[in-house]
Structure 1
Amino acid sequence: MAEARVIPIRGNRGPARPGPEEQPLLPGPSAVAPGAPSDDERPGWEAALEQALEFLRRRLTGDYQVDDFGFDPELAGAALLPALRPLYRRWFRVETIGMHNVPDTGGALLVANHSGTLPLDAAMTTVAVHDDHPAHRHLRLLGADLMFRMPVSGSLARKSGATLACSPDAERLMSSGELVGVYPEGFKGIGKPFRDRYKLQRFGRGGFVSAALRTGVPIIPCSIVGAEEIYPKLGDIAPLARLFGAPYFPITPTFPMLGPAGLVPLPSKWYIEFGEPIRTDEHTAADAEDPMLVFNLTDQVRETIQHTLYRLLSQRRNVFLG
């Protein structure tokens, strides 16, 4: 199988228009042969089949592009995002608030709380930013090294736009105008017991704040309600976690008792709120080395997310109905 062309990363300014060497997903009017039926006259299944075959041809011949981090926007738009949309729209019925706080163009750092035993909150935020934002931006997630060591999830994560959660990668993406997403709680947040739901864990040493200061991009606090209830973690089997090299092996009301069926998430109602951006361009890159400034900004982001979570929870009447 031929390899894809690698293109330098560039600012994410919404849907890219095909360049002179890029083939559109469907042929334009000029590609229709004389006497042939137009797209409007052909059956829908025929156009869909042609689109699928053309997509397959490009994958087999390597006639598609990825950036330096392995991001494959065509695959993300044609396969990965559509696979997540049923969960987003019908199962979790996600509602977004404050999407206008996410800039249409330019670099920005989206910082969110992390929960749910499995990282579906990151996946749903990615769909939200792409589908509900007027510029249809791609969220470039920063993930733990464990995700990239796994054979299947690591490859899919790269193709969906994720990269390793380290300052050099984050700064390079934001400097190129990308929208970057980070979950500072890490495994402490996603794997916390159900009794500690919606209580933010430590945000580490504020590495994400330092990266934002060095690049001068705004920090957007993001609060997610609903993810805590999809897999209520009641306990942990530490020996199995060590055996599989995982940070925890959860016990939930349905897993492992129900086997694979226990992996089906509970259909909680979700809300994702994007808060007002916190500016960093008023500081210099040298301020990233000021521990007190980094601590204060980190605490500001954390407290903003925590207070927003409490407010959203106070407005929620029912876990599953909203």
Structure 2
Amino acid sequence: MAESERPQRDRAEGADVVPIGTSGRPGRGTGKARPSAAARNLAPSRKAAPTSAPTSASKAAPKSASKAARPTPVRPVPPAPSAEQPASPAAETAAGAPPRAASTTEETHPLAGIPVGDWLHAFQHAAVELFGDQWERRLAELMAFLRRRLAGDYTVDEYGFDAEVTERFLMAAMRPIAQKWFRVEVRGIDNIPTTGGALVVSNHSGTVPVDGLMTMTAIHDATGRFLRPLGADLVFKLPVVSSLARRSGATLACTEDAERMLSGGELVGVWPEGFKGIGKPFGERYKLQRFGRGGFVSAALRTGVPIVPLSVVGAEEIYPLVGNIPSLARLLGVPYIPITPFFPLLGPLGMVPLPSKWLLEFGEPIRTDEYDAVEAEDPMLVFDVTDQVRETIQQTLYTLLRERDGVFG
């Protein structure tokens, strides 16, 4: 009978098939419950696995047969597992084969089995997600930029302005906020001169001066020019903010610096309301505060550059100011400590600005080249031009408020 047919016949007759070498008591052939000393010396040092109870077939075997002389015992070899059903580790242990040791490579290096091609494909996919379809060119530009920065091969002007850092990092960080969060809509951008000096005068609002950053981003994306803001003294006293402001092109709001930049053909931005504008209560929103003493008008008259009025709607609602803590503000040396419906009640979460809809409209330039430089010393002329700029911005704000569908629409 063929060997492959014998197990099928045994199963058909209900016989108890016991593989060779997988049953019986320890020390079989000696009649003792414990193995001999020679057998114990040959056994491995690990604790032996419990064996199954002797079967009826082993009990029925006579002792005389077990004591009979026989040749040197040969350890039976368990049958090899078939290709369709591989043998399990438990079956190998029961058959007498030593257990296979666990692979230390998988425990120590779980990623060692990933092919190099898969790594390259994952890297390429991540680069496409980050840089887009032109990821190779943009990655090469980024590496060249880092190489130049480490080697010190970059220029900074006399005010500390770094055009490369401003365009690659500040504008890149502000652009998604302007487009996706505030959905900034720009009107009258053609009123910004493409070349030469000009002074952009805007209303100030929002509790936190985010409107200045949005204005810088909108002008750069539309015209390619950098807006050079004039900042208050407090901006350049803060440890980290002062360095970032200088790198992004801001300078101290003084007449000397303003005149030098305007004479050099720069596009300068000023917010004459100052802290009175961004720190006013929510009930006084879109009501312009005093424009100071008109120093920005004097600088424009001396240099003969046009004044471009800018009206911003939407910034008043990002942090609705409902209160203030003046005693704590004086202790910290800041103009005010804002209290909004969400800050400080919600902690850092309350510092997230509300997604209001923004409208930026640049008005027609007010020419100053018709005046002589000496007329900048005339206080009445300075007051008239300042009042003209202020009224232009105020009336445009009222018009934009009537046109917009809603605060968040």
Superposed counterparts of 1:24-43, under 5 Å: none
Q: Per-residue CA shift, 1:20-69, capped at 9, x if unaligned?
A: xxxxxxxxxxxxxxxxxxxxxxx743333322221111111211001000
TM-score normalized by the length of structure 1: 0.85
Partner of 1:65, secondary structure, is coil
1:49 aligned to 2:122?
Answer: no
What CA distance in whole angstroms lies between the structure 1 residues aligned with 2:241 and 2:256? Answer: 22
- Count of residues in correspondence between the two structures: 277
TM-score normalized by the length of structure 2: 0.67
Superposed counterparts of 1:133-212, under 5 Å: 133=223, 136-212=224-300
1:206 aligned partner, one-letter code: G
What CA distance in whole angstroms lies between the structure 2 residues aligned with 1:222 and 1:49? Answer: 37
Query: Residue 328 of structure 2: which of 240, 248, 265 is its match?
Result: 240
Question: Paired residue for 1:24?
Answer: none
Question: Paired residue for 2:402?
Answer: 314
Superposed counterparts of 1:245-260, under 5 Å: 245-260=333-348
What CA distance in whole angstroms lies between the structure 1 residues aligned with 2:280 and 2:164? Answer: 35
What CA distance in whole angstroms lies between the structure 2 residues aligned with 1:44 and 1:179? Answer: 32
Identity %: 68
1:173 aligned partner, one-letter code: M
1:158 aligned partner, one-letter code: R
Question: Paired residue for 1:91?
Answer: 181
Return the structure number with greater relative CO, CA threshold 8 A, min gap 6: 1
What CA distance in whole angstroms lies between the structure 1 residues aligned with 2:170 and 2:399? Answer: 32
Query: Residue 107 of structure 1: which of 197, 203, 207 is its match?
Result: 197
Partner of 2:165, secondary structure, is helix
What CA distance in whole angstroms lies between the structure 2 residues aligned with 1:84 and 1:240? Answer: 31
1:116 aligned partner, one-letter code: G
Query: Residue 150 of structure 2: which of 51, 60, 73 is its match?
Result: 60
Q: Per-residue CA shift, 1:57-112, capped at 9, x if unaligned?
A: 11112110010000000001111110111111000000000001000000000000
What CA distance in whole angstroms lies between the structure 1 residues aligned with 2:137 and 2:197? Answer: 37
1:215 aligned to 2:303?
Answer: yes
Question: Paired residue for 1:8?
Answer: none
Q: Per-residue CA shift, 1:153-209, capped at 9, x if unaligned?
A: 111111111100000000000000000000000000011000000000000110000
2:345 aligned partner, one-letter code: M
2:152 aligned partner, one-letter code: G
Query: Residue 385 of structure 2: which of 297, 304, 308 is its match?
Result: 297
1:119 aligned partner, one-letter code: P
In the alignment, structure 2 segments of 5+ residues that lack a partner are 1-132
Give the ranges of 4+ consecutive aligned residues of structure 1 lying more than 6 Å apart after TM superposition: none
Partner of 2:175, secondary structure, is helix
What CA distance in whole angstroms lies between the structure 1 residues aligned with 2:153 and 2:300? Answer: 35
Query: Larger % of strand: which?
Result: 1
1:181 aligned partner, one-letter code: G
